[in-house]
Structure 1
């Protein structure tokens, strides 16, 4: 009698079962953490097959945290972003010091480790910004260095109607002075040594400018205080008045700048769109609301945080030790088109 050898049944595994998800905080949809549910799951391949799933959950949550996917190199992060979106962006017309480390991959803002960076949406001080921004933790700091995030929809709802009304009606005017003795040099900000190219950029971006000498450029731009997300229709708080305004500086730096410069020569400042002063009390209230809605979690080396730049703000906590967090931006949105 011949014994029948039982055949192994093929187990069908849904591609979404290859990952597991959970919320970092039970009282917030932001962010959704995604981890592999099987060993050695290739994140790039999984992302390539689940772009629609990612888009849906990114809109719902505002941010996705990919953890434990064995991502340890700049090239892997770059490939991840290119798989998410074919349109990676340069950091032209930036406002903070960074260095390029890959093809359109940059260091995160290079401010001293002892300083914090307030919550903000990337390039909300302009009329053209990335819809997606992603951070890659190449090396977590030994202490601190978190990237706090906040839901821009909740920020908008929490701000008082009187403040919202002013920002909606007037917008925000950003005044910047570029030069060796001021803020970042214009060559760094506009990524060119050609004054003609700077002027062309400014004309295209609706930025007014004055050359005060060969190396001193001043720009003025009126931008939105509130924006509407093109896909969800949600109104979001979307400006950097609290960050650009002179009151955002530490007291000693504030006093030094005010003693050194006339107000129009300050490295950067923010006004209502009609040129009137923004009240310090208004900016203090805005900063307090950002603080109240801040979501903080520790980085783990290899983490990738993907944010919808309009739905989620980000910042940086002070830190100790060596910290390496990279950033990439994608999908330009232009309010003038």
Structure 2
């Protein structure tokens, strides 16, 4: 249930842009109605805490210091907004709701790092695309990503197509790329329900930076992180370089890799390997604050040791589809890997998805992952967009 009107703390009606007002107010007045608006709720959604320590298919969950459960969301992390009045959701085109979402993002995101919009009339990817276009946020493509996803619509992608039971480790999106996205947006089309798992944990990266061992932070700062990719040809796997690079033209792929300064080789089985080193810390492009900004654990080959499709393969850790090490090639110690995972999950929070939810994250301030779904769960569909700024 959405919070009732008396529970409202804040209203966004005064924050509508001049461009949006002519679309919203005259229409409502012509019908003798108050203008629909998005408001912030003061009550937190109920959360059934997900098990972490000892969870199957969760990388590192067998370490002694791993948190027992995922934290419930806290006040303003995320800040939650929804249409003010019951029935308001269908009174406006999605493009106009998108304009209101943009106003709130511009005003509030820098305070909390993450916003959750509930109760919007989004049922299909086309609905979401209309809302996203209404925000006017500048989209960024996913060329060079290292996960499993497909493009579903203009600026709309599947969030991740790994097996649903697998838990995706905490990370900041495309943080290994020269121009990473500044915002990550997820939308729920099919919820696994309150007892189905499949949450998207959100991670306070300021807390991660605070709790991370200072000597490890300094090593990452000075030695960087090397990322290695070993990606199959589409004739051998659904996880392939053609999808990863959004191209089947080897010369085009080579130009992309060369332009980014990446080293690469084509292998005898038509697979592609490429590698590069980059910073593991980054300053926020607006605030200048330094954040732990990498995919050190999520892209480490150790993840595949508990991945349902790879866990029985006997190969060197660096031969899996993804791997990380220090920039000079030295492996991260098991102790350091365990520490990073423990700190990241300690600072992570969960909520249950509802259909139509839209989650907006500042990609520097907030990391994310994916909880594995519980056995038997088939219905989870989250789509995604990323933006340049």
**What is the TM-score of this pair, normalised by structure 2?**
0.75
The corresponding residue for 2:212 is: 159
- SS state at 2:152 partner: strand
- In the alignment, does 2:129 pair up with 1:129? no
- In the alignment, does 2:378 pair up with 1:313? no
Gaps of 5+ in 2: 1-11, 16-35, 45-71
- SS state at 2:230 partner: strand
Q: By how many angstroms is 1:61 displaced?
A: 0.8
**Pick from 347, 350, 364: which aligns with 1:293?**
347
The corresponding residue for 1:176 is: 229
- SS state at 1:209 partner: strand
**Pick from 1, 4, 21: which aligns with 2:40?**
21
- SS state at 2:298 partner: helix
Distance change >3 Å, CA 46–CA 173, structure 1 → 2: same
Whether the 8 Å contact between 1:81 and 1:88 is mirrored in structure 2 is: no
- In the alignment, does 2:335 pair up with 1:281? yes
Distance change >3 Å, CA 105–CA 46, structure 1 → 2: closer
**Pick from 185, 194, 201: which aligns with 1:148?**
201
Map Cα deviations across residues 70-129 of structure 1 (whole Å, 9 max, x no partner): 222322211222233342222211212222221121112111121111111111232232
2: distance between equivalents of 1:325 and 1:47? Answer: 18
Distance change >3 Å, CA 161–CA 197, structure 1 → 2: same
More off after superposition, 177-186 vs 276-285: 177-186
**Pick from 224, 245, 266: which aligns with 1:211?**
266
2: distance between equivalents of 1:251 and 1:71? Answer: 35
**How many residues get paired?**
318
Map Cα deviations across residues 50-70 of structure 1 (whole Å, 9 max, x no partner): 745422311111111000122
The corresponding residue for 2:384 is: 327
The corresponding residue for 2:141 is: 90
- SS state at 2:144 partner: coil
Higher RCO (C-alpha under 8 Å, 6+ residues apart): 1
More off after superposition, 181-190 vs 316-325: 181-190
- In the alignment, does 2:50 pair up with 1:31? no
Distance change >3 Å, CA 34–CA 215, structure 1 → 2: same
Q: Which has the larger radius of gyration?
A: 1
- SS state at 1:287 partner: helix
Whether the 8 Å contact between 1:174 and 1:268 is mirrored in structure 2 is: yes
- Moved beyond 6 Å, runs of 4+: 252-255
How do residues 44-63 of structure 1 correspond to structure 2 at under 5 angstroms? 44-48=95-99, 51-63=102-114
Whether the 8 Å contact between 1:177 and 1:268 is mirrored in structure 2 is: yes
- In the alignment, does 2:129 pair up with 1:78? yes
CA RMSD for the aligned pairs? 2.5
Whether the 8 Å contact between 1:183 and 1:267 is mirrored in structure 2 is: no
Q: By how many angstroms is 1:150 displaced?
A: 0.7
